[in-house]
Amino acid sequence: MILVTGAAGFVGYHTIRALIAQGETVVGVDNLNDYYDVSLKQTRLEDLKKLNGFTFYKADIAERNTIEKIFSAHPEIDRIIHLAAQAGVRYSLENPYVYGESNLTGHLVMLEAARALGSRCKHFVYASSSSVYGGNTKTPFSVKDEVNSPVSLYAATKRAGELMAQSYAHLYHIPATGLRFFTVYGPIGRPDMAYFSFTKNIVEGRPIKIFNHGKMRRDFTWIDDIVAGILAALETPPKPGDLHCIHDAPHRVFNLGNNQSESLLDFVETVEKALGKSAQKEMCEMMPGDVVETYADIDATYEVLGYRPRTPISVGIPKFVEWYKSYYGV
């Protein structure tokens, strides 16, 4: 049995569907916070509740007593996929405390839950972020690069999560794998992400904000490719001394990206083409905490997990636009 946090989130929803399709039994946890439109989370959750083998708890991962009770109610849990977190670089400038509660305290609670499982814990897989690369200028970003210069609180909390997992793997021999996601997009995704807001504004005839005057690049990764990486990681728990393990602990970190850095303006053009409508562009300065470019080196991910992304934005964006039109009745 697998416990998945962030079950009603974008990545969590698609991951659980894939796990259930493989015949797994899943316990999902989510607090359904209002960082973005809760109706999207409810839609995902209602869909998941139709699946055999799925049990849901509305709970906050930072509330350790509640999490302990969930684990006690399901002694069959032997793997954890920890995806819940407060997301968003820019929001961390407005509401920093929620990042400490979710990304630090919540992460600690989940690590403690894994420790309590003892030898029953076969694998602790958790979400990190490409944001940990911070001010790095060498591209593509490699897991061998130093990541000691976060440029946002969000990035700092995700890097802290990696270090916390390293310490628990070292002290308690918990097999752990961190996955650095690179700009995930796809159907029933997050409205705060650029691809979603661009689509919405273009459809509604409102301008879109182009930060750094368009001089930005992102490694956009289709949701199905991310899920494939998560499942491959789950099936490959590390042992001390395995390839890419960190020091003597059973802990590894991998990039999950498309291995292709796209120009922001080219990306906007792809959205425009899929919609058949031009955007009104409002050129803006760089936002605090943002980075100019992300680009994933996935050599280590392929070497260990056999991970190869399959979906370019020329395929993914039209699929997202098709979903958007259908869901919102455009």
Q: Strands 262-263, 217-218: parallel, antiparallel or unpaired by DSSP?
A: antiparallel
**With contact defined as beta carbons under 8 Å apart, do 104 and 161 qualify?**
yes
3-class DSSP state of 124:
strand
Known catalytic residue at 168: no
Specify burial of residue 97 (Cβ count, 10 A radius: 0-12, 13-18, 19+): exposed
Q: Catalytic residue among 91, 126, 133, 154, which?
A: 154
Among positive and negative, which fits the CA dihedral 216, 221, 223, 229? Answer: negative
Where does residue 6 fall: left (phi above 0), alpha (psi -120 to 50 degrees), or beta otherwise? left
For residue 198, what is the enclosing H or E element?
helix 194-203
Instruction: Give the residue carrying structure tokens 């809760």.
Output: 38
3-class DSSP state of 131:
helix
**With contact defined as beta carbons under 8 Å apart, do 11 and 5 qualify?**
no
Instruction: Give the residue carrying structure tokens 């974008």.
Output: 10
DSSP state of 104: I
Show the tokens assigned to 188.
Answer: 């029933």
Cα 257 to Cα 1, 135, 296, 300, 311: the distances in Å are 27, 18, 5, 12, 11
Residues acting as catalytic residues: 154
